[in-house]
Amino acid sequence: MASRSGRRPRSRAVQNALKRGIEGPIALVALLVLAPIMVVIALLIVIESPGPVFYRAERVGYRGRRLRMLKFRKMHPGAAGSALTLAGDARLTRVGRVLSCSRLDELPQLWHVVRGQMSIVGPRPEDPRFVARYERDYAEILRVRPGLTGWTQIAFAKERDVLDPSDPVEHYVQRILPQKIGLDRMYAASPTLARDGRILWSTILVAVAQRAVAVDRATGTMTPRRRPRLNGADAGTATAFHRQTSMELSVRSAAQTSADSPGTASRTPASNVMSP
C-alpha cells in the first residue's frame, strides 16, 4: 500500500515535468507564429479607441500564487457596469466583440505558458474572491497549473448567451460556478496528456469550427453536437429555448454539485463577488 501511494506522487511529478517540457516550446513557437496576427489585433485596438492594448486580470494561479493574467483589451476605456460580459454588451468595442466571440483576446496568455505560470490545458484561473469562497475546492484545483483552455471553456463556450440578463452575477455564482468547480476538480484529480489532447481537439471544434461540444459533468466525456440549420423566426425561437434550457440544466447541475460536495466553503453574498 505504501509503495503504491509513493508511486503516485512520483508518477504525477514525471508527468508534470513531461507536460511542461512539451508545452513550453509549443507555446514559444505559437507566439512566434501568431506574432503577426497579434500585432494586427494590437493596431486595431489602438486605432479604434484610446487606451492600453492589454488588460491584466487579477487571478489566483498555480499553488495559490498571484497571477496578473494578460488579455487583449475588449472594452472602451473607463467602461463600468456588470462584472460579467453579456451577449451584445454595449461596453465592447467593435474589435472587442470579435475578440470576445473568437477568444482571440486570450492569445497573450501564451506568454504565461512560456514562463511556466500556466499550461495550455488546465482549469481556467479564477478571481481571488471566487477562490476565497471555495477554499477547499481550490486547494485541490490549484495543485495543477491553470490553462488557456479546459473542460469549462468547452462546456461554457456560450456562457454569455445563457446568463440571466436580469442578474448575471447571481446566476453565475449560484448556477454556473459550482459546475465549473466540479469539472476543474475532476481534471485536477487525474490530469493526463491523452486527456489534454482530447480537450485541445474539442477546443478547436468549438473555437474554429463553431461546433457545440457537450461535456459530461460526471466523466468529462466530450461529445460534439449536431444542430439543424434554422432560419428566421425559428432561429430566434431556438435561441430563446436554448437559453432557457441551459439555465434549467444549470439549476439541476448546481443542485447536484451541492449535494455531492458537502465540504465546500460557505458562500458569501453574490453582490460582493465579481466575475472574471
Question: Is 20 a residue whose pLDDT tops 60?
Answer: yes
Instruction: Provide the domain count of the chain.
Output: 1
Neighbours of 172 (CB within 10 A): 24
Q: What angle do CA 37, 40, 43 make, to 5 degrees?
A: 150
Give helix 177-189 / helix 232-260 axis angle, nearest 10°.
Answer: 60
Distance (Å, rounded) from C-alpha 166 to C-alpha 189? Answer: 36
The residue with greater pLDDT, 163 or 5, is 163
- Condensed to tens digits (0 to 9), the pLDDT of residues 171-198 reads 888 899 999 999 999 999 989 999 999 9
Confidence class of residue 108 from pLDDT cuts 50, 70 and 90? very high
Distance (Å, rounded) from C-alpha 173 to C-alpha 159? Answer: 13
User: For residue 125, which amino acid is it?
Assistant: P
Domain assignment present for residue 2? The answer is no
Mean pLDDT of 239-256: 50
Domain assignment present for residue 149? The answer is yes
DSSP annotation of 174: I
Confidence class of residue 9 from pLDDT cuts 50, 70 and 90? low
Distance (Å, rounded) from C-alpha 16 to C-alpha 163? Answer: 35
Share of the chain above pLDDT 70, in %: 77
DSSP annotation of 176: I
SS3 68: strand
Domain assignment present for residue 94? The answer is yes
The residue with greater pLDDT, 81 or 218, is 218
Distance (Å, rounded) from C-alpha 153 to C-alpha 148? Answer: 9
Domain assignment present for residue 156? The answer is yes
Q: Which helix (H) or strand (E) holds 266?
A: none
The answer to whether 130 touches 59, Cβ cutoff 8 Å, is no
Confidence class of residue 236 from pLDDT cuts 50, 70 and 90? low
Residue 139 vs residues 35, 189, 199, 271: alpha-carbon distances, Å: 35, 11, 23, 24
Question: Is 199 a residue whose pLDDT tops 50?
Answer: yes
Strands (E), 155-219: 213-215
Confidence class of residue 244 from pLDDT cuts 50, 70 and 90? low
**Which structural domain, as residue segments, surrounds residue 65?**
20-266
Question: Is 79 a residue whose pLDDT tops 80?
Answer: no
The residue with greater pLDDT, 130 or 41, is 41
User: For residue 244, which amino acid is it?
Assistant: Q
The pLDDT value recorded for residue 271 is: 39
Domain assignment present for residue 272? The answer is no
Mean pLDDT of 61-70: 95
Domain assignment present for residue 13? The answer is no
Q: Lowest-confidence range among 72-81, 100-109, 117-126, 147-156?
A: 72-81
Domain assignment present for residue 220? The answer is yes
Three cell numbers, residue 6: 509513493
Confidence class of residue 43 from pLDDT cuts 50, 70 and 90? very high
The residue with greater pLDDT, 22 or 165, is 22
Q: How many CA atoms lie within 13 A of 252 on its CB side?
A: 7
Residues in Cβ contact with 34 at an 8 Å cutoff, skipping those fewer than 6 apart = 107, 110
Domain assignment present for residue 274? The answer is no
Three cell numbers, residue 221: 466525456
